Amino acid sequence: MRFSYVGYKPNGEPVKGELEADSEKTAEATLWKSEITIVNLKEKKRILPPIQELLPSLYAVKTEEIVNLNRDLYTLLNAGIGIYPSLTMLYERTSKASMKSLIQDILQSVESGSSFSEACEKHPKLFSPFYIRMTKVGEEIGNLEQMLQQISIQMTKEAEIKRKIKGAMTYPMIVLTFAVIAIIGLVTFLIPAMKGLFEQMGGELPFLTKVMVTVSDFTTDNILYLAIGAFLIIGGTIWYFRTPRGKRTKDSMILKTPLIKDVNIKGAMARTTRNMALLLGGGISITDALDLIVQTSDNHIFKKAFQQLRSDVNDGLLLSQAMKNQEIFPTLIAQVVGVGELTGKLEPNLESIANFYETETDRAVAKATQLLTPIMTVVIGGIVAVIALSMYQPMYGIAGQLQTEK
């Protein structure tokens, strides 16, 4: 919300201007902090809503920005600056409205007596239970800056893994989209143009050409209905995948799709073991750590496995023994965790597994990309070749008839 104000500075000089704030109360508090005596304060009415409201996903706070905020806050705290001055400095140098609003809200909560972790807890969509718990531990042991440093490392690595997994799945979709557009162009523009030429030349068309011409005629005659149908199917699919049942279906499909399955499992193992190592290193019990892992899992199959893992550990099983009961966990993880439990080095062993599976995720992504590219090239090339062949067949037939007549 944007407000216009009129007031006086401490020296009696009149001042007026505008400011952005969540509410009129917040705007008043901001002006009083600036030592401005308010004469008039009112919200500016807009004919159209701001672009941030029209395109919320574009202007929302991104994960990368939370990572940067966390890193910068660690740097300031490590330099001996208090939490409130640090947040104030970050607020003043931030230009993006959504980030500025977030930091301002955290600032106000801290100013009113809340801890940093409690202030972050008011924004569950931006700060995970894992983040809240780790910062709370840092506050309790009086070493918040070091905990923020560990969280920064973890968040950076996790964001990198997610980016690679997303990239492995996005590339084929982009190629497929362009291929579909190209094929639609051939069917709706090239074939109708060639059809007129074939009709002028006369003669019997080959079977393949008849099929392509029939498909083209149907597409051009019903282009509007087909477009509406495609829009409804795509929109319906997106909506369905956002429902609880649809998300479960999507998660199952991902873990049953060759190549993509390998990328997702290895990425999940890397994230899980690194989070476990960080949580245990922060003094959190293994059952509480597993509880946080369950809360932060975004795949229902993994979440179900982690829930069973937590249940087995609560019943008295060692973590390695509980992992052996779940097929989703590779044998290597259970073996290395078992060694760590026997030697008292569970945390470093989990970090070693995380490093190993981060490397394996890179290899899985590279393998998936290398294999998907030629597969899609062959499939798409085959479709285009069939269309091209259906167009050239009649031309060769007509050329043969002309030679025979001569």
pLDDT tens per residue, range 46-92: 554 454 444 445 567 888 888 888 888 988 988 888 888 898 888 88
Which tokens belong to 47? 């004919």
Burial of 78 (0-12, 13-18, 19+ CB in 10 A): middle
- Full-model pTM: 0.66
Q: Work out whether the CA dihedral 276, 279, 283, 286 comes out positive or negative.
A: negative
Per residue in 114-170, pLDDT tens?
A: 889 898 888 888 888 888 888 888 888 888 888 888 888 888 877 777 777 777 667
pLDDT of residue 349: 92
Cα-based distances in Å from 281 to 147, 189, 258, 329:
10, 63, 35, 22
Per residue in 320-348, pLDDT tens?
A: 999 888 888 888 888 999 999 899 888 88
Which of these ranges, 5-19, 42-56, 346-360, has the smallest mean pLDDT? Answer: 42-56
Cα-based distances in Å from 155 to 76, 131, 269, 302, 354:
18, 9, 15, 19, 13
Which of the two residues, 216 and 236, has the higher pLDDT score? 236
Which tokens belong to 390? 């259906």
pLDDT of residue 50: 52
Q: Which residue has the tokens 């829930």?
A: 307
Round the average pLDDT of the chain to a whole number and report it: 81
pLDDT of residue 232: 92
DSSP 202: -
Of all residues in the chain, the percent with pLDDT exceeding 70 is: 90
Per residue in 97-108, pLDDT tens?
A: 888 888 888 888
pLDDT of residue 54: 47
Domains along the chain with CATH numbers: 2-45 (3.10.20), 61-156 (1.20.81.30), 160-406 (1.20.81.30)
Per residue in 262-294, pLDDT tens?
A: 888 888 888 888 888 888 887 888 888 888 888
Helices of type H across 143-285: 144-185, 191-201, 207-221, 223-242, 244-254, 260-281
| Cβ atoms of residues 2 and 19 within 8 Å | yes
Average pLDDT over residues 167-179: 74
| Cβ atoms of residues 188 and 223 within 8 Å | yes
| Cβ atoms of residues 18 and 36 within 8 Å | no
